[in-house]
Homo-oligomer: A and B are copies of this chain.
Amino acid sequence: MAHMTSTPQPGTPQPGAPRPSRLDPAVAARLKRSADGLLPAIAQQYDTGEVLMLGWMDDEALHRTLTTGRCTYWSRSRQEYWVKGDTSGHFQHVKSVALDCDADTVLVRVDQVGAACHTGDRTCFDSDVLPLAQ
């Protein structure tokens, strides 16, 4: 820790405080985050319209998604950033990013390489359809 400075680096979790971020402050000021500082982020296949998955983004994950061309999320379970595809090769190449009318949800249109779901399904919503009773 000899080189630790007083300025936290992006990606360093700060318990009880928002993680530092390089996101445009004008965008950051508009975001309405959940209590844990995150926004739900919907990934949609840009041409077919398939809803692929839902992940979570903090400000820095949104910044990386906007600037690297690859969808980046915050893992709530591992408390770290993850680039979709870094381990599977199933990258999500970013086509567009939009906030909703309340600035509390992100919609990322992507070109999904291979399966979006860790089970091997194309989307995370393919295998658990609930019965309607009406």
- A residues sitting closer than 8 Å to B (CB atoms) are 27, 34-36, 40, 42, 44, 48-51, 53-54, 66-69, 94, 96-103, 105, 107, 117-119, 121, 124-134
Q: Which chain B residue has the least Cβ–Cβ distance from A69?
A: B134
Task: Give which listed residue, B27, B69, B100, B133, contacts A125 with CB less than 8 A.
Answer: B100
Please give the count of copies of this chain that the complex contains.
2
Does B94 contact A132, Cβ atoms closer than 8 Å? yes
Known contacts A51-B42, A51-B44, A124-B105; decide if A131 and B66 are in contact (CB<8 Å). Answer: yes
Does A121 contact B101, Cβ atoms closer than 8 Å? yes
Given A67-B134, A68-B134, A101-B124, 13 other A-B residues pairs in contact with their CB atoms under 8 A: A42-B51, A49-B50, A51-B51, A53-B100, A66-B130, A66-B131, A67-B132, A69-B134, A99-B130, A101-B128, A103-B128, A105-B124, A107-B125
Most buried by B among A34, A69, A101, A102: A101
Residues of B near A66 (CB, < 8 A) are 130-134
Task: Give which listed residue, B53, B107, B127, contacts A51 with CB less than 8 A.
Answer: B107
